[in-house]
Structure 1
Amino acid sequence: MSATSSPAPSSLTPVLLHQLVQEGRAPRLLDVRTPGEFHTVHIPGSYNVPLDTLREHRAELLSHLDEDVVLVCRSGARAAQAEQALAGAGLPNLRVLDGGMNAWEAAGAPVNRGPERWDLERQVRLVAGSVVLATGLVGVLVPGVHLIGTAIGAGLTYAALSNSCMMGVLLSKLPYNRGPRPDIRSVIAELRSTP
């Protein structure tokens, strides 16, 4: 990896990560999903540092992440954003779990489970679909209402092209998704005390 270029984040397959964990050579695992998603299911030994918290406190985290770090999210998109934020702050040795928790679970790797909840992507599909359906039906009686559904469609198209989702960001702020918020000081203390 050249210091002058900005390569795409390297990834680590679930099979290889699981092998490293079994051999006692596990890298630091930072799960950047919402606390609600993390408490539903996560990789044993991972630390929950939601993406917005990571961005806000990346300077504080840097001094405690000097070895290999693997970033985890649901499918890899948020982890790639976290990689950009940490790499931009000067942290080397970053990798993204290829396929995220979806791939980890599909590989049959161990997880810690909590109460079941819908993941953020499913919530976005429900809200967007409901708004489009409702405005389409109401638009039959009230001219112009269908344009709200059109705006939602435009927003989803932009989300796909930019690999960001404003609706997802807004939904992540709901109490349902927040769950017990990780305290950055506690996370840093755990990082400091774990070899």
Structure 2
Amino acid sequence: MPDITPTELHQRQQAGETPTIIDVRETWEHEEGRIAGAQNIPLNSLPEKLDDLDELKDQEIIVHCKGGSRSASAKAYLTQQGFTNVRNLEGGFQAYTAAGI
């Protein structure tokens, strides 16, 4: 599945869409700033949260972190676990906020 740009995500949110967004940063990072509607599941907690996400296996999930590397790992992990529609937010939270969103 191709990654998603901050602009595309913002446009979809402005259009009223509510995609599933998972912030894989640490809790303290999420508390300092977040994308509206994102749920925080730190990368190292993903394995223990898989059962909670099972109903989303065939739905779009957008993962993000600070700059894109942790979320790339999360995308790869979720894909290996059978999730079929995982997209990484290009440039992460930094790019999303730098775009003035």
- For 1:178-189, list aligned pairs within 5 A: none
Shift, 1:60, TM fit: 3.4
Runs of 4+ in 1 over 6 A off after TM superposition: none
Distance 1:23 1:107 in 2: 18
Larger Rg: 1
Match of residue 68, structure 1, among 60, 66, 76 = 60
Shift, 1:25, TM fit: 1.9
Match of residue 15, structure 1, among 7, 20, 32 = 7
In 2, are the aligned partners of 1:27 and 1:67 still within 8 Å (CA)?
A: no
Q: Where do 5+ consecutive residues of structure 1 fail to align?
A: 1-8, 110-195
Match of residue 58, structure 1, among 50, 63, 71 = 50
- TM-score in terms of structure 1 length: 0.49
1:58-91 residue CA offsets vs partner (Å, 9 max, x unmatched) = 2431224542110010000000111111101100
Shift, 1:50, TM fit: 0.6
Which protein has the bigger helix share?
1
Distance 2:43 2:19 in 1: 19
For the aligned residue pairs, the C-alpha RMSD in angstroms reads 1.4
Distance 2:86 2:56 in 1: 13
Distance 1:64 1:52 in 2: 19
- Please tell me whether residue 44 in structure 1 is matched to residue 44 in structure 2: no
1:128-168 residue CA offsets vs partner (Å, 9 max, x unmatched) = xxxxxxxxxxxxxxxxxxxxxxxxxxxxxxxxxxxxxxxxx
* Identity percentage of aligned residues: 37
Give 2:83's aligned residue.
91
In 1, are the aligned partners of 2:56 and 2:83 still within 8 Å (CA)?
A: no
In 2, are the aligned partners of 1:59 and 1:89 still within 8 Å (CA)?
A: no
- TM-score in terms of structure 2 length: 0.92
Q: How many residues align?
A: 101
Structure 1 SS opposite 2:63: strand
